[in-house]
Amino acid sequence: MTRRNESPPGPPAPVQRLDRAFFDRPTRQVACALLGTLLWVRSGRSIGAVRLVETEAYVAHDPANHAFRGRTARNRSMFGPPGTLYVYRIHQVVCANLVTRPGEAVLLRAGAPVAGGLTNPSGPGRLCRSLGIEHRHDGVDVTRSPSVFLTPRAGRTSPIVRGPRVGIRRATELPLRFALAGEPWVSRPKPWRTART
DNA sequence: GAAAAGATTACCT
DNA sequence: GGTAATCTTTTCC
């Protein structure tokens, strides 16, 4: 029997999920490529999904990045393989990121409900609460996990716009926030500019 | 061991 | 538009 690297056991999926190569790219590129994709979360017997409409990139040498000062117990998932889910707690809520290169990640800020009867996934904390993402999902590999995975864009998407990131005190001038133009579920209005992609 | 800060949200004026 | 809530992680003494 020949060894296989990439074929997990089980029935073939009707739609292929986003794989390691999708996330193993420059973080800004992944942040844009994630817009329009579907994020699925299975909790118990139910499953919910959103179409991602807003993301933020956190890159190397970025003082707003949780990994800026190196690896700690809290941010260890930031150094997992591409496609690792980094979930952290802030105030009363949790926020979810997808790791690209080591120490870099994309914060998931908002989605449009597409399955599971979700309520208000607009805003990073609400997105997690709506989908049922909890801190126990920290470190999950979304390229393999049966409970959290992503599938490609379906159909056309709106143009991408960009703007300053939200809620941070340092490096606020960097235009590392990306969204799909005109999407009603995008959180907090900000001065958007059209992005060159 | 104590204090401060935080990739937020809800509710106030 | 501004601030309190609320609690974990990080940092400092």
CB of A72 under 7 A from strand C? yes
Model pLDDT, residue A186: 95
Measure, in angstroms, how far nucleotide C10 C1' is from residue A39 CA. Answer: 31
What size, in residues, is chain A?
197
- Greater confidence (A196 vs A185) lies with A185
Average pLDDT over residues A150-177: 92
Nearest nucleotide to A69, CA against C1' atoms: C10
Q: Please report, rounded to a whole number, the percentage of residues in chain A having pLDDT higher than 90.
A: 81
Beta bridge partner(s), residue A93: A90
**Smallest CA–C1' distance to B10, residue:** A92
Rounded Cα distance, A2 and A12, in Å: 19
**Smallest CA–C1' distance to B6, residue:** A90
At residue A23, the 3 state secondary structure works out as: helix
φ, ψ at A38 (rounded to 5°): -105, 130
Chain center to CA of A159: 19
Average of per-residue pLDDT values in chain A: 92
Model pLDDT, residue A118: 95
Nearest nucleotide to A135, CA against C1' atoms: C8
Rounded Cα distance, A127 and A134, in Å: 11
Q: How confident is the model at residue A100 (pLDDT cuts 50, 70, 90)?
A: very high
Nearest nucleotide to A109, CA against C1' atoms: B7
* pLDDT of residue A6 exceeding 80: no
pLDDT single digits (tens) A109-122: 999 999 999 999 99
CB of A194 under 7 A from strand C? no
**Smallest CA–C1' distance to C4, residue:** A91
* pLDDT of residue A86 exceeding 90: yes
pTM of the model: 0.91
Model pLDDT, residue A49: 98
Model pLDDT, residue A5: 56
Model pLDDT, residue A2: 53
Q: How confident is the model at residue A9 (pLDDT cuts 50, 70, 90)?
A: low
* pLDDT of residue A21 exceeding 70: yes
CB of A5 under 7 A from strand C? no
Strand B, nucleotides covered by protein (CB < 7 Å): 5-10
Question: Please, where are the H alpha helices in A80-123?
Answer: none
